[in-house]
Structure 1
Amino acid sequence: MWDEVLEPQDDLGSLCEQVLGKPFSYSDPVQWRAGLAYRGSHQHNTPFPHQYALVIHVHHGHCDGNDLIKSQVWFSDILDDILSGRRINETPLCTYRENDDIKSLMEQVKIRLLEDPHKIDSIRRTQPSEDRTPLLMKIAGKPQIPETSTGYVIRSFIPQVMNKFQENAKAAGISFNSSIIAAINTALVELATEAGLSQDAYKVTFGHMISLRIYLEKSATHRSGLYGKMHNHSSTLSKNTRDNFWEYATQLHQELRSAIKTGLALQQDVVSTMDNSEMTPDEIVANTCPTLCDYLLSNMSTPISAGKDQPENIILEGLYCLGRVHNFHNITCYIVRYKDNYSGTLNYSKQFYCSDTVNRLFDTLLNVIKAVS
């Protein structure tokens, strides 16, 4: 059995717990789990009166977040064609690969690293230390009753503010990803300062997901598979970074761009694999340290032209990404852009944080973005 489809429900929270609450293992025959939650009838919206939330959880060995976001847009379009009685276009939208191209790429990186042992040591020094304490954890403290589960804070960004923010980033020659990371770092430092942790400079260590597709030859169709790799990076900023935000964001962007250009994420992954060569994939996952980084960011966007302009039966109103992260990270931020709509979720381990702390972080992040836009 490759899939598990749950019965439709009325309670979205309960459905999310059922879909996301049960993890997949490497040997699990079930590759994805999904369910629908009825969100009510809105007769004033006459063309599309009935609203549902589709919750889908996919085995991470099968695809990455980039695939999953795109697939929901494709699914909505295909379903609209079916309900409209139109002929389905059977042209492949993507091509699933067994990641042989990635294995070959990583093997080339390994060969080059083995020729330079000093390089391997320098790569190790770019990785965060396991004995560090994330900045937010220093100022918030642990919950009174820690839980081994994931909590979610979900927000929608104001489109006009985000568009202005992205325009400023583009004018400064900065990617949206770099500017969002700069804003999160600034928000963390401002929370630390407000909490009385006063320092001249703060070091924020984060992981951000990059797509290894950028290192491969162009493909006629989208490459589907697990192409996401986490690049760990540390950044130093002052408590007054908001005052010179775009200067800081420019510097950070240059650092991240250089790391991507030199393939540092690939090198970090290869060295980590070499250092844990005696462990099985399940053992590596089981021994993941959730406090390595202050946070992890995954920024997923669909093409601005994605989705039909005038669907007849189904309209996709928004996309949100949730992750069962508590075994792997203390806090993970997902940003999803669909057309002009931006959504964000902070997925956090209830072992380390309470909802008030994470909501304060999100509020401060939104405030920073608005102030510098």
Structure 2
Amino acid sequence: MTLWLRPLSRIRVPFLASAGRLHFPLGARHDLSGESGLRPYPPSRALSSVNVKWLWPVDREALSFHLIHNLGSRMGLFHLTLNAKNPLKTEDVEEALFHLQRKNPTMRVDLRLRENTWWFCDQEEKKVDFKMLSEDTNSMEDFHRLCEQGFPDGNTWVFRMIPRQKDAPCAMPEVKEDFPYQYDLHMTGHHGLSDGLSVSLLVKRMVELLNDVILGRHISDELTSRFLPREELWEIESRITKKLEEDPRRHDYVRETIPDSTPLLLQAFPRPSVDRVTSRILSRTVDLEATQNFQKLCKAHGVTINSAFTAAINTAIVRLVQRSGISQQSYRIASNHLVSALRYLKQTPPDIMGGYALFLSHVSRMNHTSNFWEYSKEVHRELKGALQSELPLEQKMACVMAQPNLAEDWARNPPKVVHDYGITNIAHFPMPERRADDQVLVTNVSSTAMVHKYIHMVLFLVYTFRGRSNYAISYATDYIADETARMLADEVMSVYREVSDLKSI
């Protein structure tokens, strides 16, 4: 993840991203230029400005995602199963998406070139990219097709709906009789404009609006979110950069918290040889009783569900490594946690929408004889302390200080993987409030991501839906073999169920 080069002087002036010379500031306040070997993508969009409202220059994070998205990676998708009382009309879905876009301005935003500089712009008359596909469409093939194309045509939000066959199983069989028509809905958005939480809220609102449209309800003009420059975050980054420059000991400590060695999982399960690099997905759902017990135990032991789930993943990795023949007194597991920068912002309004993801590198030492809940408390203390000390921001800025053209470099040549896994947890998936006259219900949800050619070889996507804990594993096929991924998914489930015994309180 890191290339530790000489530290750079503090930056203060606004950041611009030009097509020929990409600039990456330490605190988003100056131009750091470096020659780019990347062709402006795509050039046709730089020439069209009809019905476009220019907003402000693109920042480092958004451009980073843009470059990587257009290599077919780091795309995140939500997959929903909708059950309807009657067949859904394409025009009703399109009208619901029209209102969703009208009430959430971010859904009109694109990234375009303006006089050789990347800008955010508002496509004032742009329709949401939606298609109702045929019943025989393969969902997984459609998912990969969406991811591999990136966002080449200014469609930074994409929705696809696929009718399911009449005999398809229903995740909530008790509603199948009243809501017999099933549809798969795939939805993705540009990570420079949104993160997992904001997208999940959009999905919730979309279903609410679809019910309103079908029932002919009045839909207000009130906005439900806003898209604004990340000025407060840039100011914090500038402060963090100054602190690291003026405190070499803290700077060295932050650098030491970021791993730079071969992950434990790769020591036990070497990288496979593949002809085509892509991402694959496995998913698991924990039963209701085990989920409830796990939550009660977390509360009883004073740890968050995320900390305990992290401990469960670490325990599963250690068990797999031991079975492979690696025996040690203790094991070092490196994880990468996706957290929201919104936790550090005080002036930014709560209805803001955008990409505010941060990474927190965490290295844990686990004794092979550790008690699970005692180990969970240790993980909880470490993660809580890191978040309270602003360590995710410090790690981010230390990386940028060492490698100012980080986004461009990663797009050209992905960094080596140094974490055993990444984890993102959106907690309870937000659901529309059930109403007596609902015409559409969400009966199942899953979350996936493309992780190849990026910093993860394995990414856990964790959420709770209708009271059950769910997790998906997205893995890069050039790092993790299918069988290794399956063993990991199953072992995490085994640990989760094993420790969800209320007798251990």
Compute the TM-score of the two structures, normalised by the length of structure 2.
0.68
The yes-or-no answer on 1:117 pairing with 2:248 is yes
Is this contact kept in 1: 2:400–2:406, CA < 8 A?
A: no
> Is the radius of gyration larger for structure 1 or structure 2?
2
In 1, Cα distance between the equivalents of 2:162 and 2:472? 19
- Alpha-carbon deviation of 1:290? 4.5
Residue deviations 1:96-128 (CA, integer Å, cap 9, x gap): 222222112211211222221221121111111
- Counterparts in 2 of 1:232-243, with a 5 A limit? 232-241=361-370
Report whether the alignment pairs 1:267 with 2:360.
no
Q: Deviations over 1:318-352 (max 9, x none)?
A: 22111111111111110122341332110001111
Shift of the 92–42 alpha-carbon distance from structure 1 to 2, 3 Å rule, reads farther
Show the counterpart of 1:333: 460
Paired residues of 2:285 and 2:470 also in contact (CA < 8 A): yes
Distance, in Å, in 1 between the alignment partners of 2:253 and 2:149 is 38
Structure 2 CA distance for aligned equivalents of residues 254 and 294 of structure 1: 20
Alignment partner of 1:31 out of 156, 163, 168: 156
- Aligned equivalent of 1:254, options 374, 381, 396: 381
Instruction: Give the drift of 1:207.
Output: 0.3
2:48 match: none
Paired residues in the alignment total: 365
Matched with 1:40 is 165
Aligned pairs for 1:154-233 within 5 A:
154-217=283-346, 221-233=350-362
The answer as to 2:493 corresponding to 1:362 is no
Question: Is residue 414 of structure 2 the alignment partner of residue 288 of structure 1?
Answer: yes
CA contact (8 A) 1:134 1:294 kept: yes
Question: What SS does structure 2 have at the residue aligned with 1:217?
Answer: coil
Deviates more, 1:108-117 or 1:357-366: 108-117
In structure 2, the residue matched to 1:140 is 269
Tell me the amino acid that sits aligned with residue 40 of structure 1: Q
Q: Is 1:50 aligned with 2:176? A: no
Match of 1:335, as an amino acid?
Answer: V
Amino acid at match of 2:142: L
Distance 2:384 2:400 in 1: 24
CA RMSD of aligned residues (A): 2.1
- Report the CA distance between 1:143 and its aligned residue: 2.6
Q: Is the 8 A contact 1:209 1:298 kept in 2?
A: yes
The answer to whether the Cα contact below 8 Å between 2:429 and 2:463 also exists between their aligned partners in 1 is no
CA distance in 2: counterparts of 1:235 and 1:15, whole angstroms: 38
Aligned: 1:103 with 2:234 = yes
Question: What SS class does the counterpart of residue 343 from structure 1 fall into?
Answer: strand
Separation in 2, partners of 1:223, 1:285: 28
5+ long unaligned stretches in structure 1: none
Alignment deviations for residues 289-331 of structure 1 (CA, whole Å, 9 cap, x no partner): 2411000000013477x41223611111222111111111111
Which moves more between the two structures, 152-161 or 61-70?
Answer: 152-161
Alpha-carbon distance between aligned partners in 1 of 2:138 and 2:429, rounded to the nearest angstrom: 31
Distance change in 2, residues 1:368/1:220 (3 Å): same
Bigger CA drift: 110-119 or 362-371? Answer: 110-119
Summarize the Cα distance change of 1:219–1:89 in structure 2 as closer, same or farther, 3 Å threshold: farther
Taking the aligned partners of 1:363 and 1:64, their CA distance within structure 2 comes to 28
Deviation of 1:139 (Å): 1.9
Deviation at 1:89, TM superposition (A): 4.1
Q: Which residue of 2 aligns with 1:298?
A: 424
1:11-35, CA deviations, whole angstroms, 9 ceiling, x for partnerless residues? 211211121222348xx73312221
3-state SS of 1:69 partner: helix
Q: In structure 2, what residue type is equivalent to 1:269?
A: K
**8 Å CA contact retained: 1:276, 1:284:** no
Greater CA drift, 56-65 or 185-194: 56-65
**Cα 1:58–1:187, aligned 2, differ >3 Å: closer, same or farther?**
same
- Could you tell me which residue of structure 1 aligns to residue 112 of structure 2? none
Is 82-91 or 349-358 further displaced after alignment? 82-91
Deviates more, 1:283-292 or 1:228-237: 283-292
Give the drift of 1:162.
1.4
Query: Aligned in 2, Cα 1:89/1:157: closer, same or farther, shift over 3 Å?
Result: farther
What percent of counterpart residues are identical? Answer: 24
Decide whether aligned partners of structure 1 residues 249 and 285 sit closer, same or farther in structure 2, where only a CA change above 3 A counts: farther
**Structure 2: runs of 5+ lacking an equivalent:** 1-122, 501-505
Distance 1:75 1:14, change over 3 A: same
User: Which stretch has the larger CA shift, 218-227 or 353-362?
Assistant: 218-227
Hey, what does 1:22 align to over in structure 2?
149
